Amino acid sequence: MMAGAEAATESQASGSDDGAGGAGRKPDADAGPAKDKTSYDVVIIGGGPAGYTAGIYCSRGGYDTLLLSGILPGGQLVNTTDVENYPGFKSGIMGPDLMIDMREQCARMGTTILDHEVTNVDFRGSPLRVLTSNAEYEARAIIIATGATPKKLGLEGEQTFGGRGVSYCATCDGPFFRGQPIAVAGGGDTAMEEATFLTKFGTEVHLIHRRDELRASKAMQARAFANKKMVFHWDSEVTDIVGDENKVRRIVLRNNKTGAEDTLDVGALFVAIGHKPNTDLFEGQVELDAKKYVVLKGVGQNTSAKGVFAAGDVHDATYRQAVTAAGFGCMAALDADEYLSGDADAAGNAAD
Ligand SMILES: Cc1cc2nc3c(=O)[nH]c(=O)nc-3n(C[C@H](O)[C@H](O)[C@H](O)COP(=O)(O)OP(=O)(O)OC[C@H]3O[C@@H](n4cnc5c(N)ncnc54)[C@H](O)[C@@H]3O)c2cc1C
């Protein structure tokens, strides 16, 4: 029997205490564990594809697992509509539905899921500690799966047309806008990559940048400049997004040197001004890189703190897909298993 198997049985009839929300469906109501239970084998921080997948593997592996999903249960995919590239759904699936199904699968495997936000952590000793506004939890292993948040322009239309023409992910949504003019806001490597990728689908791709030169690397710039479908709008900012109940129809631009306004008829606006990894909480607890992504150490999903693993967009600035996040969640859970098994063996040896 694996470490934690006995304790896991206690918490198997768990669910959620709030809703993941979306598409009119609600996840199962919380039939959760004793509210005063504060000690677990594994605590997973984050309830997106990485966190739920880690929960499925940890609980199925016999570990007593708590998942704290924070203020966005389901993660980034609850803010989108059709997901066509997650395997297993031949006609695609709505993002919120996918995440509710993942959550329910995770709860069915025995993970206790609470929609509480983690406000502090202490990874310096053993057990590892995680604080929410409701309780302090102890764990033998932690999986950080807090994801990343796409940076926004701050326009009202981003909210109104999210999933209907405003997007933060070209790989995810580009194919929906085949045969239409597309706009991309940004000027760094990501924007160049996304814009160049989008030329496969758009009739033309309008790159809107607020300066008169790009921040992207010279190689990226050269690729973009050589692409005949790219149209550059320098010194320009998007000031409004206009559409109807179905989708984005046009955007309004302002030249920030002359003040002149212009409108562009486009079917979509991709905002490519970067992501902010959700790692403020982990400053000083695990090593972060210059952009504040969690740094993985050695093989697999290990971080710089013993017994602490990371999975998904919180460490991955490259792929940023639901399926890769889920894969990393699986890897983190298997790494935690190996760590905890070794831990248990060591404890057993010490007791002999
Ligand atoms: C609009 C949009 C559309 C997309 N479409 C697609 C698509 O079609 N296909 C695709 O493959 N990918 C798509 N993506 C990308 C995909 O959503 C992400 O790659 C994926 O969700 C990353 O998963 P994750 O589990 O790492 O993190 P996230 O999904 O970001 O989840 C992070 C979780 O951590 C929680 N959290 C954060 N801080 C705390 C805290 N302090 N305490 C507790 N919990 C916390 C959040 O509440 C959330 O539950 C899209 C992204 C966006 C924004």
Give residue 342's pLDDT band: very low, low, confident or very high (50, 70, 90).
confident
Per residue in 217-236, pLDDT tens? 888 889 899 999 999 999 99
The closest-lying atom of ligand 1 relative to the alpha carbon of residue 71 is 47
The proportion of the chain whose per-residue pLDDT surpasses 90, expressed as a percent, equals 79
Q: Cβ contacts of residue 244 below 8 Å, gap of 6+?
A: none
Give residue 349's pLDDT band: very low, low, confident or very high (50, 70, 90).
very low
Whole-prediction pTM:
0.86
The closest-lying atom of ligand 1 relative to the alpha carbon of residue 83 is 8
Domain holding 279: CATH number?
3.50.50.60
34 C-alpha to center of ligand 1: Å?
29
Q: Judge if 67 and 172 occupy the same domain.
A: no
Q: What is the pLDDT of residue 117?
A: 97
Give residue 87's pLDDT band: very low, low, confident or very high (50, 70, 90).
very high
Q: Judge if 234 and 316 occupy the same domain.
A: no
How large is the average pLDDT for residues 251-277?
Answer: 96
Domain hosting 165: range is 152-271
Give residue 135's pLDDT band: very low, low, confident or very high (50, 70, 90).
very high
Question: 19-28, 170-179, 182-191, 341-350: which has the minimum mean pLDDT?
Answer: 19-28
Q: Judge if 180 and 231 occupy the same domain.
A: yes
Q: What is the pLDDT of residue 79?
A: 85
Instruction: Please state, in angstroms and rounded to a whole number, the distance separating the CA atoms of residues 100 and 20.
Output: 6
Strand partners, 63: none
What are φ and ψ of residue 260, in 5° steps? -70, 145
49 C-alpha to center of ligand 1: Å?
7
Q: Judge if 282 and 337 occupy the same domain.
A: yes
Where are the alpha helices (H) located in the chain, listed in sequence order? 5-10, 49-60, 95-108, 156-160, 170-173, 189-198, 218-226, 322-351
Q: Judge if 36 and 74 occupy the same domain.
A: yes
Considering 172, 313, 335, 337, which one is annotated as catalytic?
A: 172
Give residue 344's pLDDT band: very low, low, confident or very high (50, 70, 90).
low
Give how many domains the chain has, as a whole number. Answer: 2
